């Protein structure tokens, strides 16, 4: 036996300070399996955080009902997006080739799914190594000549530069620990510590 939903209402729930039980959003449905109609209060998400909500279930025709406290878990998004500066043809020389630091460049394109996956990883590395490592992204669609110059045939590709010279390349959406291993391997080789 299947249940047929007669109506579903999703009005906006008023703020807690103005909320009264009669103004809560109600989901009404017919459920033959349970033997009648059931009224359920919809949960409310405030700022995408975990919150306790009151759910009142009452069978139509019965006096009263029972109140249950349940937790609602809502995915909490990052409050700010992490940005990685863009390198373009006009800034390539000053940002990458003439930098006195080691430089990590992520070659990407807006239509590339794996590029979007690796972006937060590059942003985390940029934040963690701020002042020691310069991180940039280069859009291969907007700067094809630079991509061709470095033999970029697949994106995402991450290249490490030091003193304007290509030192290492990682092709594909590599995990953070793989990128960090490449950075550390390069640092150890610079210091003559071979790892």
Which residues pair with residue 38 across a beta bridge?
29, 59
**37-63 CB burial, b ≥16 within 10 A, e <16:** ebeebebbeeeeeeeeeeeeeeeeeee
pTM, two decimal places: 0.58
Mean pLDDT over 54-69 rounds to 49
For residue 8, the model assigns a pLDDT of: 47
The predicted-structure confidence for 70-123, as pLDDT tens digits, reads as follows 555 555 444 456 789 999 999 999 999 999 999 999 999 999 999 999 999 999
Mean pLDDT of 13-31: 44
User: Which residue carries 């310069």 as its tokens?
Assistant: 134
Q: What is the dihedral of CA 10, 11, 17, 23, to 10 degrees?
A: -90
3-state secondary structure of 54: strand
pLDDT tens by residue, 129-186: 988 999 999 999 999 999 999 999 999 999 999 999 999 999 999 999 999 999 998 8
| 110-128 confidence digits (pLDDT tens) | 999 999 999 999 999 999 9
Domain boundaries, the chain: 16-72, 92-190
For the domain made up of 92-190, the CATH class stated in words is alpha beta
- The span from the CA of 144 to the CA of 178, in Å, is 26
User: Can you tell me the distance from the alpha carbon of 191 to that of 52, in angstroms, rounded to the nearest whole number?
Assistant: 55
DSSP H or E segment with residue 27: strand 26-31
Radius of gyration of the chain (CA): 28
User: Percent helix, strand and coil across the chain, each rounded to 5?
Assistant: 25, 30, 45
Residue 187 has what pLDDT? Answer: 78
Q: How confident is the model at residue 192 (pLDDT cuts 50, 70, 90)?
A: low
Among all residues, which ones are annotated catalytic?
112, 115
Which two three-digit tokens encode residue 184? 């550390």
- The candidate with the shortest Cα–Cα distance to 40, out of 62, 21, 57, is 57
User: Is the pLDDT reported for residue 67 higher than 80?
Assistant: no
Q: What residue ranges in 99-195 does DSSP mark as E strands?
A: 102-108, 133-139, 157-162, 165-171
């Amino acid at each position: 036996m299947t249940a047929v939903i007669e109506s579903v209402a999703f009005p906006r729930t008023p703020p807690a300070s103005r909320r009264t039980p009669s103004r809560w959003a109600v989901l009404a449905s017919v459920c033959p399996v349970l033997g009648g109609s059931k009224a359920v209060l919809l949960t409310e998400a405030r700022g995408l955080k975990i919150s306790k909500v009151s759910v009142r279930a009452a069978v139509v025709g019965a006096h009263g009902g029972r109140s249950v406290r349940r937790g609602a878990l809502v995915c909490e998004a990052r409050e700010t997006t992490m940005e990685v500066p863009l390198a373009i043809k006009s800034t390539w020389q000053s940002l990458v080739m003439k930098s006195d630091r080691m430089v990590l460049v992520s070659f990407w394109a807006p239509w590339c799914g794996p590029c979007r996956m690796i972006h937060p990883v590059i942003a985390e590395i940029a934040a963690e190594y701020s002042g020691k490592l310069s991180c940039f992204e280069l859009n291969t669609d907007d700067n094809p000549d630079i991509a061709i110059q470095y033999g970029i045939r697949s994106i995402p590709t991450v290249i490490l530069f030091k003193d304007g010279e290509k030192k290492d390349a990682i092709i594909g959406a590599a995990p953070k620990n793989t990128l960090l291993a490449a950075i550390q391997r390069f640092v150890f080789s610079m210091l003559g510590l071979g790892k």
